[in-house]
Structures are given as C-alpha cells and as structure tokens.
Homo-oligomer: A and B are copies of this chain.
C-alpha cells in the first residue's frame, strides 16, 4: 500500500456544502456557529452574537435555520456528515480487521486535526445534552463505535484477537486513547506538545499498544 500510515485527515475536507452565490450568508452563519458554540456553548451564544460574528442581520438566523437550535443542529450535522461519509468510504474498502483499525484511528485523529471545534462541541453535548440533539449525536456514535465493535468481533472470529476481549470495552478503550489526547490538551499540553509530528508518533504508539493488546499471543498456541 503506497499511502503513508498517517496521512492525516478525512478524505473530504468540506464541512458544509460548497458555496453557491446566494448561500454565502448561510455559510458565514454556519462558520460563526462552529466558532461561537464551541467557545461559549449553545446557551451562552445569542442570535445577536451569531449575526455579529457572521456580519449579517439577526433575522437571517431564523430565515436560514428556523432558530438558534436549527443552526446548532446544522453545525453538528455538518461535522457528523463528514465523519459518516468517511466511514462509508472505509466500509466500502472491506479491509482485513487490523487494517480497518488503522484506518479508523486515522479517521478519528484526522477529524480532530481538521475540525478542532468538533471536540469542544461534543464535550458540551456530553456535559449538558440538548434534548433534540442527543439522538443525532448518539446515531453518529453508534455508527462509528458499531463499526469498531464489528471489526473487533470479526477479528475474534478470524482467530486474530483474543477470545476474552469484550468488543464494547475494546472500542471504548480505543476511543479513549484517541480522543483524550486532544481533549486533555489544555491541561496536559505542558507534558506533550501537540502538532502533526507528535500526533503521528502518538498514533503509532496507540496502535502498537492496542494491536498488541488485542492480538492473540502467538506463543499461546490456541
């Protein structure tokens, strides 16, 4: 395979639908939403803030999105759409289990690097779930986590991974290693500086750790 192991990032970098002439205000509002919701949270951001950041009239929030919640929903949906599109690409490749795990790691870490506002948004949802959005969010988590769990199950079936691995737990452990690295940056940044180069080393360490952890020991003789 000619691609490097960690050529960062999702295949499709377009967060929101491409610009058509008449949509520029809508897109500016989406961009404003990404920035402000991540920084101030849903409740801490007013329609007036959004309009000011986007440089347009407050009434356009309702016009384009129905409400502040509609804009928030569109912002999260934009991120999840990219994630889901990339996941579909991975699924389509139908790679063997270990290669699938490598690809998932790259996808998750690539999403963090390319969309640094996603994680603060997700964190806020984790702390104070907003009713209407929990479903959307759980759907995305279920898709991604479901893919990893299925991969682990397949690896167990093929005799590659240990039989005593609990796929749900393995998935959560992998998610923890990948997400916490970015999540903890504000407080662990003094331990490990972040950047493409460090990310790459970290990703390789996590993958080595995880794969050696789940793989059936060869000397085990089973």
Q: Residues of A with Cβ closer than 8 Å to B?
A: 120, 122-127, 129, 134, 137-138, 141-142, 145, 164-166, 168-173, 175-181, 183-184, 186-188, 190-192, 201-202, 205-206, 208-214, 217-219
- Of A145, A177, A201, chain B has the most CB atoms within 10 Å of the CB of A177
Query: With A126-B184, A178-B176, A183-B126 given, is the CB distance from A169 to B138 under 8 Å?
Result: no
Residue of B nearest to A213 (CB): B209
A137 nearest CB neighbor, chain B only: B187
How many copies the complex holds: the figure is 2
Known interface pairs A125-B187, A141-B187, A213-B213. Does A192 touch B168 (Cβ–Cβ under 8 Å)? yes
Q: Is the CB of A186 within 8 A of B126?
A: yes
Q: A64: shortest Cβ distance to chain B, in Å? A: 28
Whether the pair A180, B186 counts as a contact (CB closer than 8 A) is no
What are 20 A-B pairs at a CB distance below 8 A?
A123-B123, A125-B186, A126-B183, A126-B186, A138-B190, A142-B191, A145-B188, A164-B208, A166-B202, A172-B177, A172-B192, A173-B206, A175-B180, A176-B176, A176-B179, A183-B183, A209-B210, A209-B214, A212-B213, A213-B213
